Amino acid sequence: MYPSAIQNYEAPDSLDGAMAGIAKFGDDAHFIAGGQSLMQAIKSRIIQPQTLIDLQNVQELRTLETAQGVTIGAMVRYRDIAGNAGLDGRLGALRDAASHVGDRQVRNRGTIGGSLCWNFVSACMPTVTLALDPRLTLGSESRGRREIGIDDFLGEPMETDRQEDELLISIFFP
């Protein structure tokens, strides 16, 4: 089955630009992170977005900081989590799970944020992340930022508390 045509493609280079893009195009737009889950949903016509907002150039979403607690940006790839020895110890399960997601190609493209936002029943990252009890930061142009616990964020399979105009920014493990 062929997917429906994408009419608009945006590639903002800032967090504000990404949030402005989703506000501009509304319900007909989707963020694309690594594309591992989104492209399957588009091909299967589960969703038919008119606009894709590509997050690849948004550097604020790519941070992985291990200062006071651990903050992982939503666009951090599985390979970067798997290869970070600073995550051993309390977050060793996260590192181990990231090293076993899919195959090398998936680990090189897939992101922790994409996995959490899609919340597929077969995905290991939402389950492991839930067990580690982080706080998530989401942002919206109209409502600003908010924090939410992972247990309140994840719902039924393929459901989360993220609103259509919100972007998952980061995951914080105290």
Alpha carbon distance 45, 49 (integer Å):
9
Please state the rounded mean pLDDT for residues 116-135: 92
pLDDT one-digit tens code per residue, 42-66: 888 888 999 999 999 999 999 999 8
Residue 133 lies in a domain: yes
pLDDT band with cut points at 50, 70 and 90 for residue 39: confident
Residue 1 lies in a domain: no
Please report the pLDDT score of residue 25 as a whole number. Answer: 93
Residue 103 lies in a domain: yes
Please report the pLDDT score of residue 27 as a whole number. Answer: 87
Residue 114 lies in a domain: yes
pLDDT band with cut points at 50, 70 and 90 for residue 40: confident
CATH number (domain holding residue 124): 3.30.465.10
Residue 3 lies in a domain: no
- For the chain, the maximum distance between any two Cα atoms, rounded to a whole number of angstroms, is 48
Please report the pLDDT score of residue 46 as a whole number. Answer: 86
Question: What's at 145, amino acid-wise?
Answer: R
Residue 2 lies in a domain: no
Q: How many domains does the chain have?
A: 1
36: domain range?
8-173
pLDDT band with cut points at 50, 70 and 90 for residue 1: low
54 exposed, middle or buried (CB, 10 Å; 0-12, 13-18, 19+)?
middle
Please state the rounded mean pLDDT for residues 7-22: 96
Residue 87 lies in a domain: yes
Could you tell me the CA-to-CA distances from 112 to 7, 81, 93, 101 in Å, in that order? 27, 9, 14, 11
Residue 112 lies in a domain: yes
Alpha carbon distance 141, 158 (integer Å):
24
Does the predicted model carry a pTM greater than 0.85?
yes
